[in-house]
């Protein structure tokens, strides 16, 4: 069977074939990863932050699965109002926390921000029936209006 010697030489060396960009090579490498290490910081009001570490399989971990892992890791069963974000880079290269709102966001986090580990932040928001709810109209109250 005849093959192009250039293509067979490159495929044996582990280098991407000619014409394949760095993004495609990174995507191929990501597909091969079986485990992503995750470090999570939980922030809640004035309480000191809590930390947890675990590993997930990026091929089978959806946002719903990740939420259930975090609920169990931090015992959040009664606190359904929380947000998840990951430490990534903006267009200028600055580190910023980006929201995880969908499976697509999670796939992006796995692909772009998981080396050597994915850094997550869980922000607990006060629920409607919290101990210190904001009274209706409190934000609209003006002390100088009679």
The full set of domain ranges for the chain reads: 29-124
Nearest residue to 101 via CA among 86, 118, 80, 116: 86
pTM: 0.65
- pLDDT reported for residue 88: 95
**CATH code of the domain occupying 29-124:** 3.10.20.90
The pair of structure tokens assigned to 76 is 């959040």
SS3 113: coil
Exposed, middle or buried, 75 (CB in 10 Å: 0-12/13-18/19+)?
exposed
- pLDDT, tens digit, 9 for 90 and up, residues 72-97: 999 988 766 899 999 999 889 999 99
- pLDDT, tens digit, 9 for 90 and up, residues 34-74: 899 999 999 998 899 999 999 999 999 999 999 999 999 99
The structure tokens 């010697």 sit at 5
């Amino acid at each position: 069977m005849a093959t192009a010697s250039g293509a067979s030489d490159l495929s044996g060396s582990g280098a991407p074939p000619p014409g394949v960009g760095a993004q495609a090579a990174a995507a191929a490498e990501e597909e091969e990863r079986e485990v992503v290490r995750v470090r999570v910081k939980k922030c809640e009001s004035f309480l000191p932050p809590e930390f947890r570490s675990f590993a997930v399989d990026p091929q089978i971990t959806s946002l719903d699965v990740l939420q259930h892992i975090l609920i169990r890791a931090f015992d959040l069963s009664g606190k359904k109002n929380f947000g998840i974000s990951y430490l990534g880079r903006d267009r200028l290269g600055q580190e910023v926390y980006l929201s995880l709102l969908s499976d697509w966001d999670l796939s992006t986090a796995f692909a772009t921000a998981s080396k050597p580990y994915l850094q997550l932040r869980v922000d607990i928001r006060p629920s409607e029936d919290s101990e210190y709810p904001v009274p209706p109209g409190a934000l609209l109250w003006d002390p100088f209006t009679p």
